[in-house]
Amino acid sequence: MTTSKFLNRPDVYCHAPWVGGSYMPDGKFTPCCHWRGEKFNSREEMTQKVGDIFLRGEIPDNCSFCVPGQPSWRDSYNVYPTDYKTYKLKFLDFRNSNLCNLSCRSCGPTYSTQWASELGWKHILFQYPVNLDYVDFSECERIYFAGGEPLLNPAHYEILDRLVERTDNGSSMQIMYSTNLTVLNYKDKHVKDYWPKFDQISIHGSIDAVGPYAGVVRSGSDWATVEKNLTWVRSQPNVLVRISTVISAINIWFLPSLFEYLDFAELYNTENGSGPVLFEPILAWGDNEFNLSSIPHRFRPDLIDMLSNNKFSSHPNIQHAIEILKDPAYNAQYWELFLKTQKELDQKRNENWFDLLPIKDQL
């Protein structure tokens, strides 16, 4: 099997099958969290099947998230060299459970036990304990914990224990989280006892709204608790905080208060041990009712004006949101489905998303 065609296609190749892997809620592996297709029983099986496709100079059909020739998730794996023959775990994306204390409106039962409970599903897709004996952490340099809510996952703390036991005490590891920041512990395990032992902790805070809007966008969250936990996290010298807001038809109406909160001078104060906060919004993706293209045109000029006139308007994803709202594309069925779903959730959960909506009287 020749690899010349593959090695000459930097816009195609991805090292994820050889240096990474995502441990999914059903206990199986995929090359990364954006893989859309067959899951594999082991990293070895994943490397063989997915790696062979790349070695033929082809892009797997299930890798549609990464666009050739553009910066993408692929870059997170390609920083690690590989000989395309052996698999040394360098970057583990660990999301083995859907255990979560929230039922965010943009989520669902696959990644939330609260959602699963509402729908009568089996609550946890992959039960603890997890057999980590066959996962080689000896050369792992980066771990990304997601979920569910990873800080409620007992396997997360077991992995941290294993990393601390490494010859370098795990200190050189880069540990990343996607967390809702509503909790910092699970039973008697607390991140305050672990994070100081590592050099680099990176937090992607899933905050889509602030104040009274937070609890209806991410159902079950308490803004006062989130803000308290955010304050502690920022006080840690080895922790970098990013606010990863998912901009969707659910929360775009409430973004002005979020922008105002992020723009508050004290939040960016680097004195007195409080680190700066980075704002890294992302857009709801996929062909569904949450996409900004589902919003009727009569509401879009005000939203475009709001997105265009704030401190963060130059961010590429804010600009992308503006482009979507300027696009003629519109799906009336999605808008009807979106409103119907939000009204049903209000009634089922005794929440007031509709009452807080600034365009309520125009619907």
Pick from 27, 121, 103, 151: which is nearest to 112 by CA?
A: 103
Residue 273 has pLDDT above 70, yes or no: no
25 in Cβ contact with 125 (< 8 Å):
yes
- Answer yes or no: is pLDDT of 264 > 70: no
pLDDT at 121 over 70: yes
CB 203 within 8 Å of CB 235? no
Contact of 172 with 141, CB cutoff 8 Å: yes
Percent of the chain with pLDDT over 70: 90
Q: Which residues contact 27 (CB under 8 A, 6 or more apart)?
A: 96, 126, 130
Whole-number average pLDDT of the chain: 88
Instruction: Taking residues 180-205, report their average pLDDT.
Output: 94
**Local structure of residue 254 (DSSP, 8 states):** G
Cα distance between residue 193 and residue 187, in whole Å:
13
> 83-114: per-residue pLDDT in tens?
888 888 999 999 988 999 999 999 999 889 99
Count other C-beta atoms under 10 Å from residue 203's C-beta. 25
User: 272 pLDDT band (50/70/90 cuts)?
Assistant: very low
Of the two residues 180 and 60, the one the predictor is more confident about is: 180
Reply yes or no on whether the pLDDT at 334 is more than 80. Answer: yes
How many residues are recorded in the chain? 363
24-51 average pLDDT score: 88
For residues 170 and 198, the answer to whether their CB atoms sit within 8 Å is: yes
* Nearest-angstrom CA–CA distance, 121 and 100: 14
Could you tell me the CA-to-CA distances from 336 to 331, 357, 360 in Å, in that order? 9, 16, 14
Q: Where does the pLDDT of residue 251 fall: very low under 50, low under 70, confident under 90, or very high at 90 and above?
A: very high
Nearest of 148, 155, 236 to residue 163 by alpha carbon: 155
The CA distance from 345 to 357, in Å, is: 14
- In angstroms and rounded to an integer, the radius of gyration of the C-alpha atoms of the chain is 21
Q: Is the pLDDT of residue 184 over 80?
A: yes
Confidence of residue 269 (pLDDT cuts 50, 70, 90): very low
CB 60 within 8 A of CB 53: yes
Distance (Å, whole) CA 264 – CA 284: 26
- For residue 169, what pLDDT band results from cuts at 50, 70 and 90? low
Reported as a single tens digit per residue, the pLDDT across 217-235 is: 999 999 999 999 999 998 8
